[in-house]
């Protein structure tokens, strides 16, 4: 078991920057998912002397609060199939816990290239499908399609969220639209419920291993919840078209940022 690391060496400036990243990540995550693509790199940069598992664990402790706020906000006003969301969330919780057991094997040197590849895949998919998720199809998925969704969304994305995490919300949204014919707004609302499960599953393992910086996480969580609340309310007001635009802007900005870090310095 890894001992709990004190956070006294984190400067005030770093703490402010991390809280700002948490605020923006909460807003992004609530609107379209993928807030971890901002928050996790910020933690990796802000905690350079720690193992990546501390960044992963602290990221989960922060993310679960903001995701929960967004899930409640959406559930009150957006059409969410609660039974489906809870079923997917339960499977994803178990899968994320399993993925978190392997998180210590993640090499920090390959973390950002992996994130970039996933971002490029998301960008290409959304650009090549301009009507993706902008209109509801009102089609009831077959049993086979629902089973595939359970495997891909619950097990596959859940495991990924536990072992790595960034972009999980975005992948959940895309999976729900592609496999279950939801529009982007409904998919985003449903994804929040599922994402609560993945965050809880992974967080339980990181907590048991002592790789969560709780004092830092508590401060960041307040800002993340505020961002999530504001983002969910804006998405509900503006609709699926707005969500798609934000998705494209966020993906493009993050790809450019990571590319600069990899090759521009």
Instruction: Please spell the DSSP secondary structure of 75-120, one letter per residue.
Output: HHHS---HHHHHHHHHHHHHHHHHHHTTGGG--HHHHHHHHHHHHH
**Does 6 fall in a domain?**
no
Whether residue 216 lies inside any domain: the answer is yes
Q: Is residue 2 part of a domain?
A: no
26: tokens are 């909460």
- Whether 195 shows a pLDDT value over 70: the answer reads yes
Per the domain annotation, does 138 fall within a domain?
Answer: yes
Number of domains within the chain: 1
Residue-level length of the chain: 265
- Torsion angle of alpha carbons 50, 55, 61, 66, nearest 10°? 140
Token pair 């998180």: residue: 103
pLDDT for the residue numbered 229: 95
pLDDT band at residue 140 using 50, 70 and 90 as cut-offs: low
Query: Mean pLDDT of all residues in the chain?
Result: 82
Judge whether residue 19 has pLDDT over 90.
yes
| Residue 5 lies inside a defined structural domain of this protein | no
Q: What pLDDT score was predicted for residue 135? A: 54
Q: How far is CA 83 from CA 34, 77, 88, 137, in A?
A: 24, 16, 9, 20
Give the model's pLDDT for residue 90.
92
**Which range among 6-10, 93-97, 201-205 shows the weakest confidence by mean pLDDT?**
6-10
pTM of the model: 0.80
Reply yes or no on whether the pLDDT at 134 is more than 60.
Answer: no
Largest CA distance in the chain: 54
| Pairwise pLDDT comparison (41 vs 107), residue with the higher score | 41
- Is residue 94 within 8 A of residue 139, CB to CB? The reply is no
Average pLDDT for 130-151: 67
| Percent of the chain predicted with pLDDT > 90 | 33
Q: What is the pLDDT of residue 225?
A: 97
- Does any domain span residue 82? yes
238-255: average pLDDT? 74
In a domain, residue 210? The reply is yes
pLDDT at 16: 94
Lowest mean pLDDT among 3-12, 75-84, 121-130, 147-156: 3-12
CA-CA-CA-CA dihedral for 213, 54, 36, 47, to nearest 10: 90
Given a cut of 70, is residue 252 above it in pLDDT?
A: yes
The range of the structural domain enclosing residue 180 comes to: 12-264
What pLDDT does 3 receive?
Answer: 43
Does the residue 4 lie in any domain? no
User: What is the band of 264 on the pLDDT scale with cuts at 50, 70, 90?
Assistant: low
pLDDT at 80 over 50: yes
The DSSP result for the chain, as a single string, is -PPPPP-TTS-HHHHHHHHHHHHHHHHHHHHTS-THHHHHHHHHHH-TTS-HHHHHHHHHHHHHHHHHHHHHHHHHHS---HHHHHHHHHHHHHHHHHHHTTGGG--HHHHHHHHHHHHHHHHHHHHH-TTTTTS---PPPPHHHHHHHIIIIIIIIHHHHHHT-TTHHHHHHHHHHHHH---HHHHHHHHHHHHHHHHHHHHHHHHHTT---HHHHHHHHHHHHHHHHHHHHHHHHH-HHHHHHHHHHHHHHHHHHHHIIIII-
């Amino acid at each position: 078991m890894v001992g709990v690391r004190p956070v006294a060496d984190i400067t005030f400036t770093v703490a402010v920057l991390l809280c700002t990243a948490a605020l923006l990540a909460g807003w992004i995550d609530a609107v379209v998912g993928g807030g971890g693509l901002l928050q996790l790199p910020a933690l990796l940069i802000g905690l350079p002397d720690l193992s990546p598992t501390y960044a992963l664990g602290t990221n989960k402790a922060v993310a679960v609060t903001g995701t929960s706020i967004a899930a409640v906000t959406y559930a009150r006003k957006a059409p969410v199939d609660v039974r489906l969301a809870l079923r997917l969330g339960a499977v994803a919780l178990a899968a994320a816990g399993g993925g978190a057991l392997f998180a210590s094997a993640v090499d920090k040197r390959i973390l950002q290239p992996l994130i970039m590849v996933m971002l490029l895949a998301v960008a290409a998919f959304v650009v090549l499908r301009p009507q993706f998720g902008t209109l509801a199809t009102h089609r009831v998925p077959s049993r086979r399609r629902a089973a595939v969704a359970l495997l891909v969304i619950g097990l596959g994305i859940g495991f990924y969220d536990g072992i790595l995490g960034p972009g999980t919300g975005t992948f959940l949204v895309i999976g729900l639209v592609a496999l279950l014919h939801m529009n982007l707004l409904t998919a985003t609302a449903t994804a929040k419920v599922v994402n609560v499960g993945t965050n809880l599953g992974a967080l339980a393992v990181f907590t048991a291993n002592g790789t969560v910086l709780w004092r830092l996480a508590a401060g960041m969580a307040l800002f993340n919840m505020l961002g999530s609340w504001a983002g969910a309310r804006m998405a509900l007001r503006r609709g699926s078209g707005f969500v798609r635009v934000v998705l494209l802007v966020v993906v493009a900005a993050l790809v450019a940022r990571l590319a600069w870090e990899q090759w521009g310095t």
